[in-house]
């Protein structure tokens, strides 16, 4: 009998046990240049009033992390014409990759944003042009590649992608 598929959910990082679990997340060596140091990212986002540190849970185990950035221009160094939030440092631990957790986490993240931040209309991110697995994941999750290439990425050029959280306002 196949193992039960865990329930994937997201939640704000709020206690020391979850911070510790996020610090323990690892990525493959070739992925590190795309996501950076997860321990730094969680600690930095907890210090930043314009950010939210978010944990990804499979049942009760922390399997991933991402950062929500509410600073104007936080993604691709430009403001968007509608209220938006940036998705940064998205990571699923290497021991849990390939199980559909990334796509499920993005679905949960968008549902969470709609509930907790209903005024936000767009979720924006950049993804390295060489990170084909992540590009495929974001497209599968419903993000749209704008066609804009952001040249300011620390590890090279990046696709600028958007996900519509709320319908466009009426004209």
Domain range annotation of the chain? 8-164
What are the pLDDT digits (tens) for 44-92? 999 999 999 999 999 999 999 999 999 988 887 888 889 999 999 999 9
CA distance 42 to 134: 20
CA-CA-CA-CA dihedral for 150, 151, 156, 162, to nearest 10 = 0
pLDDT digits (tens), the chain, 171 positions:
455 567 999 999 999 999 999 999 998 888 888 888 999 999 999 999 999 999 999 999 999 999 999 998 888 788 888 999 999 999 999 999 989 999 999 999 999 999 999 999 999 999 999 999 999 999 999 999 999 998 877 778 999 999 999 887 666
**Distances, alpha carbon 157 to alpha carbons 148, 149, 150, 153, 160, in Å:** 10, 6, 6, 6, 10
> Which CATH number is 8-164's, of 3.40.47.10, 3.40.630.30, 3.30.70.260, 3.30.300.30?
3.40.630.30
């Amino acid at each position: 009998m196949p193992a039960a598929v865990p329930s994937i959910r997201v939640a704000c990082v709020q206690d020391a046990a979850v911070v510790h679990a996020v610090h323990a997340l690892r990525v493959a060596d070739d992925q590190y240049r795309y996501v950076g140091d997860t321990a730094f990212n969680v600690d930095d986002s907890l210090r930043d009033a314009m950010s939210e540190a978010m944990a990804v849970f499979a049942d009760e185990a922390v399997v991933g992390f991402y950062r929500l950035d509410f600073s104007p221009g936080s993604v691709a160094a430009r403001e968007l014409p509608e209220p938006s939030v940036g998705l940064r440092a998205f990571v699923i631990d290497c021991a849990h990759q390939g199980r559909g957790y990334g796509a499920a986490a993005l679905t949960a993240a968008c549902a969470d944003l709609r509930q907790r931040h209903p005024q936000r209309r767009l979720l924006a991110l950049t993804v390295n042009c060489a990170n084909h697995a992540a590009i495929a994941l974001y497209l599968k999750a419903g993000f749209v590649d704008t066609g804009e290439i952001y040249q300011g990425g620390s590890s090279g050029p990046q696709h600028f992608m958007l996900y519509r959280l709320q319908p466009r306002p009426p004209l």
